[in-house]
A and B are shown apart, each in its own frame.
Chain A
Amino acid sequence: MSEQAPIVIVGTGLSGYSLVREFRKQDKDTPVVMVTADDGVSYSKPMLSTGFTKGKDADGLAQASTDAMEEQFGVQLRTFTTVTGIDPEAHELIIGDERLKYSKLVLAWGADVIRLTIAGDGQEHVFSINDLMDYRAFREALADGQKVAIMGAGLIGCEFANDLRNGDYEVDVIAPSEVVMPGLLPEPAANAVQQELENLGVRFHLGTVVDRIDRHNGGVRLTLANGESLEADVVLSAVGLHPRTGLAESAGVDVGKGIKVNRALETSAPDIYALGDCAEVDGHVLLYVLPLMACARALAKTLTGERTEVSYGTMPVMIKTPCCPTAVCPPPSGADGQWEVETEGTSVRALFRNSAGEVLGFAVTGRFAVEKQALSKEVPPIHN
């Protein structure tokens, strides 16, 4: 056994830890090494946008220390360790001058936040949140602030807008789209969420972008393309994520929008797998919890020697805007059909039906949000 190279997992986010949790349910003995560029503290990323609402700071959102994770799962953790390359032929992970042998390699290293290049000297006030360490830095910056400007009105921008209002911060949201969460929510549902966020005190500046961020009064002044200007203590950039593909691509592994894997989570290179925010699974890049958990379960089986394909069911997305509870299951892109919308104030039930009357997607807000489970059963699964 000691001759056998370990299974190496790169990444200790929800993907890496969910995978090892599932794997250890079936295999207690095979050595596993987990490598992470950050501190390896276990946390649940979707919860980062609920800190104020749940009364938790960065420490409160941490679920377990690295020592606890090592003991619970019988793995060796290597924190603050940056992978610099992969040698698929030799089955080696390259960490600077070191080469780490693997029997199987799992890439669970997530996505990078997209950083916009914006003019002005106020960049040190701009934060983005993609992990618990980012969140800790953000909360520290907020400690002496009152006003937050959020760039981006997607799911993350809207969730943080709600959470920061619950923490009594003033919130401005700036985004180029004319509606919130474009591409995710049909317009009537988006309007409902925006309305409730406005009722909560969030100020929206849509259809424009931030041109400059300059130091001002200990904080910053943001100059918008539409001529407006506003002040903030902290700027949160939430303009999107890009799956991390660079090292895989350099190693000759096929990449598309993410690291390409089939339904068995196999990359184009032997014994290298990928899941989570870095992976493009059978053509799907879904940066949400449900696909990730499904992948973790399938891959855990595969790693024990029982090759298993993931089967995506219906994948509703819960949007954590407590002021307007919302769930959405977007129809497949390019699907034929139309939205059928029922609206009662800011409660919206939008069903996407094809010509045969079948529901292919939905969005529900407000008091209709409780119907999400029932509706999910009507929508055909992604994989039949």
Chain B
Amino acid sequence: MKKWQCVVCGLIYDEAEGWPEDGIEPGTKWEDVPEDWVCPDCGVGKEDFEMIEIG
């Protein structure tokens, strides 16, 4: 499980947690997150997220 961070606002998508509010189940890998999913905080798209080291 990896984490991805929005380069604009710092929001973290954690594959282990998914994003249930947008219907993305816990355990959903980043590549399986829909291409049109956008950062819930600032609205940028998946291409503006970068992988970060697991803490």
> Which residues in A have some Cβ–Cβ distance to B below 8 Å?
14, 18, 21, 44, 46-47, 63, 289-290, 293, 297, 316-318, 327, 370, 372-373, 377
Q: Are A44 and B9 in contact (CB under 8 A)?
A: yes
Q: A318 and B43: CB pair below 8 A?
A: yes
Alpha-carbon distance A332/B22, docked complex (angstroms): 28
By a CB distance below 8 angstroms, the chain A residues around B8 are 14, 44, 46, 289, 293
Q: Cβ of A47: which chain B residues have Cβ within 8 Å of it?
A: 9-10
Residues in A whose Cβ lies below 8 Å from that of B47: 297
- Min CB gap B24→A, angstroms: 12
- Cα A18 to Cα B6 in complex, Å, equals 12
Q: Nearest 3 A-B pairs (CB), nearest first?
A: A318-B43, A44-B8, A289-B8
Contact B44 A46 (CB under 8 A): no
* A44 engages B41 (CB within 8 Å): no
Verify A21–B7 contact, CB threshold 8 A.
yes
Measured in the bound complex, the distance between the Cα atoms of B42 and A373 in whole Å is 11
Q: Does B48 contact A (CB under 8 A)?
A: yes
Contact, CB under 8 Å: A289 / B7: no
Q: With a CB–CB cut-off of 8 A, which chain A residues contact B38?
A: 373
A17 to B38, CA, bound (A): 21
Chain B interface mostly: loop
14 contacts between A and B (CB under 8 A): A14-B8, A44-B8, A44-B10, A46-B42, A289-B8, A289-B42, A289-B43, A290-B44, A293-B8, A293-B44, A318-B43, A370-B21, A372-B43, A373-B38
Contact A289 B44 (CB under 8 A): yes
Considering only CB atoms and an 8 Å cut-off, how many residues of chain B contact the other chain?
A: 15
B10 to chain A, nearest CB (A): 7
- Distance between Cα atoms of A318 and B6 in the complex (Å): 15
For B10, the chain A residues whose CB sits under 8 A away are: 44, 47, 63
| Chain B neighbourhood of A316, CB < 8 A | 43
**Chain B contacts to A: CB under 8 angstroms:** 7-10, 21-22, 36, 38, 41-45, 47-48
Residues of A near B44 (CB, < 8 A) are 289-290, 293
Please, which residues of chain A bring their CB within 8 A of the CB of B48?
293
Contacts of A21 in B (CB 8 A): 7
B41→A318 contact, CB < 8 A: yes
Give Cα A18–Cα B48 distance, bound, in whole angstroms: 9
Chain A residues contacting B42 (CB-CB under 8 Å) are 46, 289, 318
A377 CA to B7 CA in the complex, in Å?
A: 23
Complexed CA–CA distance, A373 and B22 (Å) = 10
A297 to B42, CA, bound (A): 17
- B22 cross-chain contacts in A, Cβ below 8 A: 373
How far is it, in angstroms, between the C-alpha of A370 and the C-alpha of B41 when the chains are bound? Answer: 11
Chain A: minimal CB distance from B12 (Å) = 13
CA distance A370 to B40 in the complex (A): 9
Q: CB < 8 Å: which of A18, A46, A317, A327 contacts B9?
A: A46
B9, chain A: closest CB distance, angstroms:
6
Give the Cβ gap from A382 to chain B, nearest Cβ, in Å. 15
Given A289-B42, A293-B45, A327-B43; 5 other pairs, CB 8 A cutoff: A44-B8, A44-B10, A293-B48, A317-B43, A370-B21
Bound-complex Cα distance A290 to B6 (A): 13
Min CB distance B30 to A, Å, is 17
Q: How far is the CB of B1 from chain A (nearest CB, A)?
A: 24
